[in-house]
Structures are given as C-alpha cells and as structure tokens.
Amino acid sequence: METQIIGRSRGWLSRAKEYIEAGEVVAFHTETVYGLGANAFSDEAVLKIFALKGRPADNPLIVHVHRDYDISPLIDGEPPYAAVLRRAFLPGPLTMVYPSTGKVSKYVSCGLNTLAIRVPSSPTAQEFLREVNLPIAAPSANLSKHVSPVTARHVFDDFNGKIPLILDGGACAGGIESTVLDCTGEVPQILREGLVTREMVASVAGDCGVYLRREGEKPKSPGMAYRHYSPRCATAYCRSADEANALYDGEKGRGGAPCILCGSGEMPALGGRESLDLGGTGEEMARRLYALLRKAEKTATLLIGIEPKERGGVMAGVMNRLLRAFGENHET
C-alpha cells in the first residue's frame, strides 16, 4: 500500500471520507499530536488500529467528533460540571470520559463501561470530522510505545506502506496528548495530565482531582500503565548539568555519540556539548519534546535528560511525558 501525505488541496477530505467509509485507517493532524483514525462504529476498522499500532488489547481509544456532532446517543448522561467544562474548553485538548451507552464498537473502550470523547480544535481535524460525520476512534499515530508524532513525517516514519493517507496540518502546536478527564464521578478527575491543567479545570468546575494509581490497583486509564513515548536509543536521566556532563564525557570517551536534552536555563552549563533545547516555559517544552526525542533517536547513542526546574501548569503534563520517555515512573 502506498502511503500519501496530503495537505489542504482539492478533494483531500473526500478522499479521507472514502477511506474511512471503506473501513480503512487514516491519520490526521490535531492540535495535540497526530491521530490514527477509523470509524468508531465498525469493529473491523477499530481492530485494524490495534493491529497497526501493536497496541495492547486492554488500552481503550478516544473517540473524536466534530464540534456540532451530537454525542448524546453515545453517552449515558453527564454531570452538570461536564456541560460547563465542555463550553469552557471544547473544541480543544481536553478528553472527557463519560458513562457509555455502548453504541460504538465494543473494541473502542476495551470492555470498560465508559467512553472517552474528544473534540479537537485544529482546523484539519475539524474539517475531516465534519466531512466524515462519524465518531472517529483514534489513538496517537505512533507505533505502540514509540514517541507520539507531531508532524506528518513522524507518522510516515512509523506507518509507511501500512495506511493509505495522512492528512497533513503541519506541526502540532500543543505537542503533548490531550488531558484525559474522568467525568463519571461527583468531581472531575484527571487521568492523564495535558495542556488543560488541573488549575484550569478547577477554576471552571470548582474542584478537580488527579488520579494516582495505588500499588497493585488496576489503573483507571489503562494506557497510563504502559511505558510510553520512548525514543529508540539508550537514555539516562539526571538532576543536574554536572551529572549530565559527566555521563556525556564518559559516553564520548567510549566512542559514542551522546546528546543532552534540557531546558534553555541549563544550556550555558553544558560547555558546548551536543544538546537539544527544550525551551523555557511549559508550553514551549510541550511543543518541542516529542520532535526532539524523535530527532535524538536518529543519531544519539545515549540521550541524557536533565530534569527541568520549572513547575506548575502545563509542566505537570511535560514532567509526566519526560519521566516516561526516560524510563522512570512506569510500570509495564
């Protein structure tokens, strides 16, 4: 199968619609990361996503809909705070988990009685979703465990020859996956941190919890139990530039090609060593992280991360992805 990357042009959306209606999988731009989409009503199409990604069968998918799509047949009611949150943050990088009516393919939620729904804001995603007029089940468009894609080229690198079409909307401005928010309880609870922060949710809903999995407990958001976002090179994680520099020099001495990934503030302490600049704010770090991980894995024999000092807001999501990419804080 030939994989085509197409940008805004005549007929691009009708081609995507034809593939979706034929049960194929189409990758598309969103404001967070690229998604790998299929008709959420079709068992066969949804199963194709799992097979293509090599995704564990117990990791449920998010359903994406156009802003005007009526989700009420898909969900079994919503608490008042959810309606308020929808108005405040959608379309945007917030996924809301509702009690499901079971109308979409049972493979979407992997046996859970809930359904995760997202209304992405990127023009490409919105136009695609309006054209197909279907709920589109879509995980991030990377092979399972690999770094999520933030350009069409990243998707191509993982799925060339495996999918017919990638809808190119340019680089993703958000850069990390949406916030996943459980809206089945009395208070909304964050299952995965992202660009819509706990503070933002609490300011609108009055309160917001963050789910912390207890030892031995089955995770509420199964995806969070897997190692994720890993570059395909050896990694090390440090708390200081001095520690990173020592690791770097050791690797260099062995004839390797090390590289340091850190926030802008640490750059002057690296003494000209090969490095990648994550930026100075949470938003900047979110936007750059995945592209830099994918860049590093192509050449580095050892990627050394330095823990950023910044905290608060979007940094919760950035730290979560960073620790997972560097192999800490994960269970498999």
Nearer to Mg ion, 29 or 275 (CB): 29
Sign of the dihedral defined by the CA atoms of residues 23, 125, 318, 97, in that order: negative
Contact 79, 207 (CB under 8 A): no
CA atoms of 250 and 309, how far apart (whole Å): 25
197 binds Mg ion (CB under 5 A): no
CA atoms of 209 and 168, how far apart (whole Å): 35
Nearer to ligand TXA, 121 or 245 (CB): 121
Q: Retrieve residue 8's tokens.
A: 């805004």
CB of 280 to ligand TXA, least distance (A): 23
CB of 260 to ligand TXA, least distance (A): 27
Nearer to ligand TXA, 157 or 243 (CB): 157
Radius of gyration, alpha carbons of the chain? 20
CB of 80 to ligand TXA, least distance (A): 20
- Report the residue closest to Mg ion, judged by CB: 140
CB of 160 to ligand TXA, least distance (A): 19
Contact 119, 90 (CB under 8 A): yes
CB of 16 to ligand TXA, least distance (A): 15
Query: Which parts of this chain interact with ligand TXA (CB under 6 A)?
Result: 30, 32-33, 35, 59-62, 95, 97, 109, 112, 114-116, 118, 120, 138-140, 177-178, 180, 191-192, 220-224
CA angle 56/321/241 to nearest 5° reads 140
- Dihedral pair phi/psi, residue 309, rounded to 5°: -90, -20
| 185 residue type, one letter | G
What residue has token string 């958001």? 221
140 binds Mg ion (CB under 5 A): yes
CB of 60 to ligand TXA, least distance (A): 3
121 binds Mg ion (CB under 5 A): no
Nearer to ligand TXA, 109 or 197 (CB): 109
Q: Retrieve residue 232's tokens.
A: 């395909």
Residue 30 binds: one of Mg ion, ligand TXA, none (C-beta under 5 to 8 A by kind): ligand TXA
Q: What is the dihedral of CA 59, 36, 173, 153, to 10 degrees?
A: 120
Chain contacts with Mg ion (rule: CB under 5 A)? 140
